[in-house]
Amino acid sequence: MPSIARPPAARQSTLTNPLHFQEILMARVQVINPQTATGDAKMLLDAVQSQLGVTPNFIRVLANSPKALEGFLGLYGALGKASVDKATQERIALAVAEGNGCQYCVSAHTAIGRHAGLSNEEMTLNRLGSSADTKAAAIVAFAKALNDNLGDITGAEFDAARHAGLSDGEIVEVITVVALNIFTNILGKATRVEIDFPKVDLLDTAQRAAA
């Protein structure tokens, strides 16, 4: 966003409007205001608001391309009916977000994961690539390997997922969840989305190395 000096009165009036204030904080891509959106963007944003009761900044940034938002919501919605349960999808999201250093996504999925029934201790393990649950630990480790190696995993890493009891369909679902979260991580980091969830710091290097 170009740095344009404004008269003090104009700057003050803008900052007193919370919606304008949020847009100023978005340094790289406009944060679409659901109240002034039009066309497909408004329809999709209204649907998110109706379903969630809020419209996160990430969704508002994605609404700059209604087709991109529609695609994201379609895949996200389809995964809601997947064999891999919601809590485990959140475990995967936390592992991938931590691995990619996306603080927005770590913060978001910590809030969502808590709503899905995950404890703080479990979510810390997830961010480190593990879980207190045996099958979930294998799934999260598989997801972490996929993310760390952009899919180019070893036979042993693939076989470990099979030995944990994952079907071919579940393996494909885990890969899909990882890919969707890589997308959200890239978008969040590239656009520098302002965190509008309770902020969670990334783990430090020592904590990750000890995992």
User: pTM to 2 decimals?
Assistant: 0.84
Q: Report the alpha-carbon distance of residue 73 to residue 18 in Å, rounded.
A: 26
Q: What digits encode the pLDDT tens for the residues 135-148?
A: 999 999 999 999 99
Q: CB of 21 within 8 A of CB of 52?
A: no
Percent of the chain scoring above 90 in pLDDT: 82
* Nearest partner of 129 among 145, 147, 141, 120, judged by Cα: 141
pLDDT given at position 181: 98
Percent of the chain scoring above 70 in pLDDT: 84
pLDDT given at position 151: 97
pLDDT given at position 20: 46
Residue 16 predicted with pLDDT over 80 = no
Q: Report the alpha-carbon distance of residue 86 to residue 66 in Å, rounded.
A: 25
DSSP state of 194: P
Rounded to 5 degrees, what angle do the CA atoms 82, 84, 88 make?
A: 130
Rounded to 5 degrees, what angle do the CA atoms 169, 84, 209 make?
A: 105
Q: What digits encode the pLDDT tens for the residues 64-110?
A: 999 999 999 999 999 999 999 999 999 999 999 999 999 999 999 99
| Helix 155-163 / helix 168-191 crossing angle, nearest 10 deg | 120
| Helix 39-52 / helix 66-79 crossing angle, nearest 10 deg | 30
pLDDT grade for 209, boundaries at 50, 70 and 90: low
What phi, psi does 101 have (nearest 5°)?
65, 35
Residue 24 predicted with pLDDT over 80 = no
Kindly tell me the sign of the dihedral angle through the C-alpha atoms of 95, 98, 99, 103.
positive
Q: What digits encode the pLDDT tens for the residues 147-156?
A: 999 999 999 9
Mean pLDDT score of the chain: 88
Q: What is the mean pLDDT of residues 202-210?
A: 73
Q: Report the alpha-carbon distance of residue 185 to residue 210 in Å, rounded.
A: 24
